[in-house]
Every structure is written in structure tokens, then in C-alpha cells.
A and B are shown apart, each in its own frame.
Chain A
Amino acid sequence: MTKTQKRVLKFSIMFALVFAVCPTVSAMHIMEGYLPPAFCIAWGIVCIPFLVKGFYSIKKIFTENQKTITILAMAGAYIFVISALKIPSVTGSCSHMTGTGLGAILFGPCTVSILGIIVLIFQAILLAHGGLTTLGANTFSMAIAGPFVSFGVYALCKKCRVNKNVGVFLAAMLGDLFTYCVTSIQLALTYQNEGGSIVSSAAEFFGVFVPTQLPLAVVEGLLTVLIMMALENYAKPELKAIGFEKSV
């Protein structure tokens, strides 16, 4: 090998290393090790009541209402798919959606917290995405806060007699966005900017996330409407069994 060839080779290896080391991983959750232990534990504790409630409602589905297990599996699988897709956005960076809106509309927010935490554990262990130490915080934002907003928005739309598809769309979209609001607040509680106020730091983090997330939230809304339409067409008995659709 000539000297120049060697040099080229060395250079290319260095080039490769530099770019391989840049973490291209991760799109949304708070990364492993980015929250101090006290916060990790605190967020974990906040999640526990929701998870317990969710566990019992899932248990109830398995013992009393077996017909609806398929729909539950569907909602879980939907979160799996949606949160694995990293989608390019207008800001030139990628992010992914939460997918928790569907389950929240169908089963209520607590049930979704269990489905969400399964996905988060999967990603934290196998994909180095999110993390075990930040599991509590991520669970709270993605699997609890987001679904609660989705559920609330959908209920509100139903009460105001908004078109059902529009309601589903708004619920999924706002739930997705709110997940990022909560993530910003969580980060701001931990890291304040120079001025030191939590609100302005939260706004700053929010400013980083929102432009990327907004189009994705719209995509999530649209996809959720699609899958709800499919379910309404083909799974009426199940939807009735979970009390989603009372009159046909």
C-alpha cells in the first residue's frame, strides 16, 4: 500500500468513526442518564397509581370481557408500530409519534399506561432509546399525561357533538403534542437556563420540540382516524362491548 493510500484509508476510518459515534439514536424520550436520581424516583412514584389502576382494568378485561382482548391487543400493537416509526419533519430532524391516542379513546387513559410502559421498556432495553432510569418520567409524559389529554379532548368533542372523526383527530393530535409539553416541563424542572426560571426554560425546551412534532402530531391524528374508521366498520360488536359505541 502506498503512503497516500494509507493516508486515505486512515482518513476514511476516522471519518467513519466520527459519524458513527454521533448518536443518531433517539427521537423523543428523555435519554438515559439525563435526569438526576431523585427526579427519576419521583416521576416513577407519580406513575404508580395510574399503573395500578391500569393493571386492574386490564385484568378485568381478561376475566370479564374477553371479547375485547382483540381490541386491546390492537391498541397495544398500534402503539408499537407508531412509536417505532421515525419520521422526518419540517425542521430537518426526525421524531416519532406516541400512538397512545387510540387506546386512550377506546379504553381510557389508565389502561393505556400499561400498554405504553411495555413499549417504553422494550425501547429502553433493546434500542437504547429512552432509558431505564428515565422510564418513570417518560411513562408519565407518554403513557399517562398524553392519553389523559386525548381522553379528555375526545369526551369534550363528544359532548359538544363534534363530528366523530374530527374528535378522534383532535384527541390523538393534542395528546401527542401534550406529551412533548410534559417532556419540556420535566426537563425544565431539572435544568434551568441562566435566568433560572422554570417557565422560560420549559418554553425553551418546548421551542426545540414543537416545530418538529407538530406535523407528526397531525400525521398521528390522521392515522388514528383511519384505524378508528376501520374498527367501526368491522368490529362493531367489540366496540359495543367496551362501551365505546352505545347506540347503533
Chain B
Amino acid sequence: MGIPAPEERLEEYPHQFSGGMQQRAIIAIALSCRPQLLLADEPTTALDVTVQAQILDLLRQINQRDGTGIILVTHNLAVAAEFCQRLAVMYAGQLMELGPAETVISEPLHPYTKGLLRSLPYLVPKGSPLTPIPGSVPDLAQLPSGCPFNPRCDIATDICREEAPPWVKVSSNHAACCWRLT
């Protein structure tokens, strides 16, 4: 796991570990039974970028060396783009888009994915405003009818407000849930 002096640190309590070391210990617990699939829920959100890079490097090694499949749950698009082979985008409890990470980032299909990418301060010239998605996430107990994203979508039509959108495959491995792709 990359914990230095493991014999000595075995007897220590969690509070004696740094954040990155604690996360390594958690990964060690998760891997102790040699699982085929590891679900990593925001494993680096609480960590600094330099430590985040170390933890992602460790997870990548586990993936390549032992063949453990990893589901990485994150809100950080850059981490997802760098670390993952495939990317699934969720909104209000539903899968909105699924495809190879590179394609989803470079040619997003769903307006929500496009909106997320546009709101990143990445490559936006200084001084020009960012384009956030208008509005906020709906109350999950009172989802709008039709597509859950329709109130915030800039290309929504009548059918989007009435019926749930179909899952549309645009290529063998890239699909999204949107009426505008039909």
C-alpha cells in the first residue's frame, strides 16, 4: 500500500496517520479479501492535490497489477477524465450518459454533460464569464415530469417536459438519455 515502515505503524491508531495514510489503510481493508470489484466513493475528495495524485496512482497500480475493477464515484470531472476508461454521468437518480471517458469529455452528447464541462474554469480566458447551468438540482421527492433535467436544459422541447427520454446509442459504446438525440 506504500505505507513506510509497516511493522511499526501496525500498532498505531488512525489519528496518528495523515489523511493520505488513512486512505491507504482503508484501501488495504477493502482489498484484504481480494475482491474483483472495488467501489471507491470520492476516495480523494478530502485530500490535497499532491496526496490525491499518490492515491490515484496507487488505485491505478491495483487495477493494472491485480485486475481489480474499480468504480470511482467522484464529482471532480478532471479526476474522472484522467483516471477512468469509461465515464457514466448521473443526474437526479438517473444515468444520463455513458461512454469512453475521452469521448464523453471531448464529444459530450447530453446537455447536462455539456453544461458541466462549460462551467469548469478550464481554458476560459481570464475576465470572460463562466457559463454555469442555470437553476439548481431538483428536489428528488418532487422530480419534474418527463426528463428530470428539462427545467434547466437550454434545448428542451415539449416532449422533454412530458415523457421520459429514451436511451439512445450513437455508437457501439457511447449512449445518452435525451430526446434530442432521437
Chains A and B come from one and the same complex: no
